[in-house]
Amino acid sequence: MNRYRPRTLALELLMVAAGVAFLFPVYALIVLSLKDAGQIASSPLGLPKPPTVDNYTEAWSTASLGSALLSSTLITVVSLVLLIAIGSCGAYFLARRATRLGYGLYILFLLGIVLPFQLGMIPLYNLFSKLELIGTYQSLILFYTGIQLPFTIFLYTGFIRALPADYATAALVDGASHFQAYTRIVFPLLRPITGTVLILNAVFIWNDFFTPLLYLGGSAHETIPVRIFAFVGQYVSDYGLVFAGLVLGAIPILLVFLLLQRYVIKGFASGLKG
Amino acid sequence: MSTQVLEASPTAPPERPARRRPRNRLGPPWLFVAPALLCYGAIVLYPSASGVLYAFTDWSGLGDWSFVGLRNFDSLLHDDRALGALRNTLLLTVAIVVVQNGIGLLLALGVHARIKSRMLLRAVFFAPVVVSPVMVAFLWKYVYNPAPNAGLNGVLGAVGLGSLRQDWLGDPSLALWSVAAMVVWQHAGYSMVIFLAGLEGISKDVREAATIDGAGPVKRFRYVTWPLLAPATTINVMLSTIGGLKIFDQVFAATSGGPGYATETLSTVLYKEAFVFGRYGYSTAVALVLALFVAAVSLVQIRYLRAREDQT
């Protein structure tokens, strides 16, 4: 049943053809980014001859992608640390407090998965501007920590409920504090779900566009999607330059994806077993 | 979601004074959930509750406001643009759910088979999922370039199908479907990996047994694989429905709702009402309608799809 038969070969050819067709936009992206304006006008889809990297050097400096990369990294990393710390502790409480109040709180957190963020968008903006946080990293870090908590708590609580309580209980009986039992015993056991939480939140935060545009647009702290948006708006008809910017903007996350492929795919595939 | 609530610990033994309640010293203290509650309350609950309140006012986003009762919802029912956006959102969602999951399933079946390129193809089909939707939209704006020798039109011309060239995003009757195709291209790989996880959970014995009983590939899929994929189908349908109803970035970057109102969705309308026209009260009414839609659809789907899972 598992041998490579002529039918398997036919399937292989079919799937490879589908893959090639699927990659057409990426082909266009790369080919155009390597051409000058004259080549794009005369033969947009042919191979570039000779290829030029001028678009890349120009896009890197005019879009100031270096500083955007720094902002995106900082915001993503700090938000993830806070989400994992606050979310896993909160979920530990919710999973182990089997009272009506504990369950009610859990449902209150789940409500956040359904609410569209636009509902509170302007009150939150006003709150941040009263606190003079607009244009700072803190505003977005706080925003992501709050907005992604429901999903994070949902994933952690499900996982912790399936975990036996005995280990932590044994530590408590032996005289450990709750905090010690949590950090030394429980948290290490959460590693698989922490991986999933990390990957799903990282991809969301890294790529999020609208809130960073609202909070950081025009400031020195713009993230990659916001920089790219402004850059494309500025050079809209210069496809070579715009596409070089898109390639540069997508490379960091694609690189991480290729390096951690197995974990990323597993994280997405297992993330939502409700 | 499980609705099991364990019983609270039994009441105190009789010899203790009644007001000293037994404390469950083994359960984590409230301090564990306090930071989460504080953060969630300040960033999500409080602003959203204010948003719900403003849906019943004439607030412009700044300055004074007064309550107007249900007037915003009444205007919504008479606002052709908002109704058109509601229709577009639903059409877009149905198209995305059906096509994305259909293609995702076919891809999953393909890369689950014993082909040599399966690992490479999984990575290829999944890669767009991790890229920013705004960037994907800009790329597809070029694919949909109306010029006859560029993008998709260029390919159609090159393979002798020049008569099928279109103004993909400029033609109002086509633009919505072009946006749907772009979203499907980005997220089909997501559906694929969830179906793939489902396929990997089906034991070989079951399928071999069906083969021995004389079932061909079609019957095997219809009576064995498909029913056993029910949990994966539930997750995929829910995820793509919620994603479709909330869609914003891709539309904003590719068409910003145009041409005319042809690709306007609930999210783009509420954005424009709030930030372009300064009708914040009205925009939160639209947001509230969107929230109710998402909640209602999720609940109905959970019920229906879970019932289907239980049958198998």
Confidence of residue B311 (pLDDT cuts 50, 70, 90): low
pLDDT at B18 over 60: no
Chain A CB within 8 Å of residue B61 CB? yes
Chain B CB within 8 Å of residue A230 CB? no
pLDDT tens per residue, range B238-276:
889 988 998 999 999 999 887 888 999 998 998 888 888
DSSP, residue by residue, A101-152: HHHHHHHHHHHHHHS-GGGGHHHHHHHHHHTT-TTSHHHHHHHHHHHHHHHH
B67: β partners: B57
- Indicate the average pLDDT of chain A: 88
Q: Which of A115, A222, A241 to mutate to test the interface with B (most CBs of B within 10 A)?
A: A115
d(CA B127, CA B129): 5
pLDDT tens per residue, range A165-194:
888 888 888 888 889 999 999 999 999 899
Q: What b/e sequence results for B267-305 when a residue is b if at least 16 CB atoms lie within 10 Å of its CB, and e otherwise?
A: bbbbbbbbeeeebbbbbbbbbbbbbebbeebbeebeeeb
Contact at 8 Å (CB) between B165 and B153? Answer: yes
Q: What is the mean pLDDT of residues B223-230?
A: 88
B-facing residues of A in 65-94 (CB < 8 A) are 85-87, 89-90, 92-94
pLDDT at A196 over 80: yes
pLDDT of residue B58: 87
Q: Do B235 and A274 touch (CB under 8 A)?
A: yes
Q: Do B132 and A114 touch (CB under 8 A)?
A: no
Instruction: Kindly identify which residue of chain B lies nearest to residue A206, measuring between CA atoms.
Output: B132
pLDDT of residue B1: 39
Highest mean pLDDT among A43-57, A64-78, B5-19: A64-78
Count how many pairs of residues, chain A against chain B, have C-beta atoms within 8 Å: 271
- Indicate the average pLDDT of chain B: 85
Contact at 8 Å (CB) between A190 and A160? Answer: yes
Domain annotation for chain B: domains and CATH numbers: 72-311 (1.10.3720.10)
Instruction: Kindly identify which residue of chain A lies nearest to residue B131, measuring between CA atoms.
Output: A250
pLDDT of residue B11: 45
Chain B CB within 8 Å of residue A44 CB? yes
Domain annotation for chain A: domains and CATH numbers: 6-52 (no CATH), 59-270 (1.10.3720.10)
Contact at 8 Å (CB) between A18 and B107? Answer: yes
pLDDT of residue A53: 85
A-facing residues of B in 239-268 (CB < 8 A) are 239, 242, 246, 248-249, 252-253, 267
- Please enumerate in sequence order all residues whose Cβ is within 8 A of that of B7, keeping only pairs 6 or more positions apart, or say none: A98
Tokens 């003079």 -> residue: A132
Please report the ipTM that was assigned to this predicted complex: 0.87
Distance from the A158 Cα atom to the nearest Cα atom in chain B, whole angstroms: 9
Confidence of residue B2 (pLDDT cuts 50, 70, 90): very low
Confidence of residue B125 (pLDDT cuts 50, 70, 90): very high
Confidence of residue B114 (pLDDT cuts 50, 70, 90): confident
pLDDT of residue B7: 39
pLDDT of residue B130: 92
Distance from the A29 Cα atom to the nearest Cα atom in chain B, whole angstroms: 7
